[in-house]
Amino acid sequence: MSPRKLFFHLSPLKRYHLDLPNFQRSHLRTIISLSLVYVLGHVIKSLGALPILGGHIVHTVLSLTGLSLIALGTGGIKPCVAAFGGDQFEKKHEEERTRYFSVFYLSINAGSLISTFITPMLRGDVQCFGEDCYALAFGVPGLLMVIALVVFAMGSKMYKKTPPEGNVVTQVVKCIWFAISNRFKNHSGEIPKRQHWLDWAAEKYPKQLIMDVKALTRVLLLYIPLPMFWALLEQQGSRWTLQATRMNRNLGFIVLQPDQMQVLNPLLVLIFIPLFDLVIYPLVSRCGINFSSLRKMAVGMILACLAFAVVAVVEIKINEMAPPQPGPQEIVLQVLNLADDEVKVAVLGDENNALLTESIKSFQKMPHPSKLHLKTESQNFQFHLKYRNLSVYTEHSVEEKKWYTLVIRKDGENISSMMVKDAENITTDGMTAVRFVNTLHKEVNINLGADISLSVGEDYGVSAYKTVQIGEYPEVHCRTEDDDFSLNLGLLDFGAVYLFVITNNTNQGPQVWKTEDIPANKISIAWQLPQYILVSAGEVMFSVTGLEFSYSQAPSSMKSVLQAAWLLTIGVGNVIVLAVAQFSGLVQWAEFILFSCLLLLVFLIFSIMGYYYVPVKSEDIMEPEDKRSPHIQEDMTNLDTNNTKL
């Protein structure tokens, strides 16, 4: 989760604190003015990406300023656009208005999907000042926004414009405060009770405002548990992407990058929105099931719960196949026997660190690496090596939280050993890693293709790691000072780390013995597809429905306020993710289970709240006060909370 994204979803609150649309501004003027702020942010961000403008401090200031303006503009535009679009429909066009919110959300995801492909191309395929062109990647969206803004403004005469209602937020706060204070002032039992606590504001505020505040507070009460859904949904770009880095991303016809899996979400949303609107929802209605907005949102929560249960299962399977990780005062040790006969290895002076009861055969290694416990952060270990009728004692120094390989080699008629520190995090995206041990008496230069070469010193020299593309390597060219030869490395699989030992024990010339330091990733990235399907289906049922529900239940003067509150729940969800990550202290799969259980609990709470929620009909909230009949106003003032099923 990026700070820009968090600020964007918190910025609707700031927008209403500043109250931009209420100083005699309509939704249309607010959208246009904040779109200009958004464009200005892109211009400043593009300037901050130009290397010719100042140094690091200037770039940082420009970038932060640009991102802040982009977030502020987006956070202000989005609730107004949703409400402004809903305002274009009459009461008799409720079905079309519902479809508008589906198209609105579909367009958002279409833009996300397009930017996922276009932005990397603008950044990487075009060079600016000899580097990746980040300025173009920010500038083009800004230019497109200007074009969209011009087209939008050209149709202003055709739009239905709702007149501004004044400082709505201030009126709501004052009305609530007066109702509470007036209730406490008149707590005497002699004073008649009123149907609703907000009715205590009737002495000062008009009935229309009190009705609107009632409708607003009832919906805001429903919003309280909603941030937990967004806490799960927003993890696709962070924890799910990190999970993808530990999976086999080779699908045969393409090798995916971890963040490319995020394309599935907007793509699936584009598929699911028409599928749900045109197929699933009508089928459910034909079955006689009242699939209300709150029911749709509740089912969306269940689907997100199931998605994270699947994520946890995948994480557990990945952990089962991952090599052991050394903790504090621990090392992970592998023993590699390059001698011409079997060797038995034992650690002296520590019964807890016995390695193997059986001998390691020639040109073999231990079946599994072993964890050794240290008494301090660094320690000297003594090893007892039994080779034929000989006993050899060696001592090596190690440091905690490291991987090591104890290489046993022939030394004349005897054997000796050397401790090799293994590198950490050596594989890169879509690549595999190799290193070589050279048993020859001459230095070997190895050409792995694509301008990748390395040198290995003579007499058991160990090379550095090199990352190469996955695939078959049947003929790798090698050269010594007086000879050329080829080695067959075989298949280099995805995510694996290989050790190759160059020997010359036959009459056929130098050969290579291959072993895996770290096995290839066996869990395919395709196993993330079910979790993306579940969470995308849940998003369509929850988010699209929530946008329409927020509009339909909001008083006519508070459409944008409630849309902004809806976006605010997303920002709070991001804060929940940060808090859990900071203070939970759980392993990753346990965190996934925790989030799933928390959302299940929220689902139960939301279902109970929805059971007692009384939906407000559009004819009761869309008409101005002077056009309503008196009995409707009276019924709304003394609104009775009858039980209404979810």
CATH of the domain at 375: 2.60.40.10
Q: Residue 597's domain is classified under what CATH number?
A: 1.20.1250.20
Q: Residue 499's domain is classified under what CATH number?
A: 2.60.40
212 and 331 together in one domain: no
Q: Which of 424, 374, 419, 382 is nearest to 399 (CA)?
A: 374
544 and 504 together in one domain: no
In a domain, 179, yes or no: no
In a domain, 299, yes or no: yes
In a domain, 99, yes or no: yes
304 and 330 together in one domain: no
Those residues whose C-beta lies under 8 Å from the C-beta of residue 338, and which sit 6 or more positions away, are: 362, 363, 407, 408, 409, 410, 437, 439, 460, 501
152 and 33 together in one domain: yes
Pick the last residue of a domain from 164, 191, 220: 164
219 and 95 together in one domain: no
In a domain, 200, yes or no: no
pLDDT above 80 for 584: no
Beta strand ranges found along 348-401 (DSSP E): 364-365, 370-373, 378-387, 390-399
**DSSP SS3 for 188:** coil
HSE (side-chain half, CA atoms, 13 Å) at 621:
23
Query: Per the structure block, which two tokens stand in for 153?
Result: 């403004």
Mean pLDDT of the chain: 82
Top mean pLDDT of 148-152, 171-175, 537-541 is at 537-541
Query: Per the structure block, which two tokens stand in for 489?
Result: 């490395």
Pick the last residue of a domain from 461, 487, 518: 518
Collect contacts of 152-156 with beta carbons under 8 A, ≥24 apart: 152/31, 152/32, 152/35, 153/32, 156/28
Q: Which of 499, 493, 498, 500 is nearest to 520 (CA)?
A: 493
- Type and span of the H or E element at 330: strand 330-337
Query: Per the structure block, which two tokens stand in for 82?
Result: 């949703």
379 and 316 together in one domain: no
**Residue 34 and residue 21 in contact, taking contact as beta carbons nearer than 8 Å:** no
Q: Which of 405, 509, 506 is nearest to 460 (CA)?
A: 405
Total domains in the fold of the chain: 4
In a domain, 196, yes or no: no
pLDDT above 70 for 425: no
438 and 504 together in one domain: yes
Count CB-CB contacts under 10 A for residue 152: 15
Confidence of residue 634 (pLDDT cuts 50, 70, 90): very low
In a domain, 189, yes or no: no
308 and 406 together in one domain: no
In a domain, 178, yes or no: no
277 and 367 together in one domain: no
Residues 84 and 55: their CA atoms lie apart, in Å, by: 43
603 and 623 together in one domain: yes
Classify strands 497-503 and 364-365 as parallel, antiparallel or unpaired.
unpaired
340 and 400 together in one domain: yes
Report pLDDT digits (tens) over 351-393. Answer: 655 566 678 898 888 888 888 888 888 888 888 899 888 888 9
Residue 546 structural domain: 206-323+524-646
Alpha helices, DSSP H, located in 471-558: 529-539, 545-552
Report pLDDT digits (tens) over 111-129. Answer: 888 887 777 777 767 777 7
Rg (CA), the chain: 33
Residues 23 and 452: their CA atoms lie apart, in Å, by: 65
Residues 504 and 512: their CA atoms lie apart, in Å, by: 9
Q: Which residue has the higher pLDDT, 289 or 296?
A: 296
In a domain, 271, yes or no: yes
253 and 291 together in one domain: yes
Query: Per the structure block, which two tokens stand in for 366?
Result: 């231990």
Pick the last residue of a domain from 457, 492, 518: 518
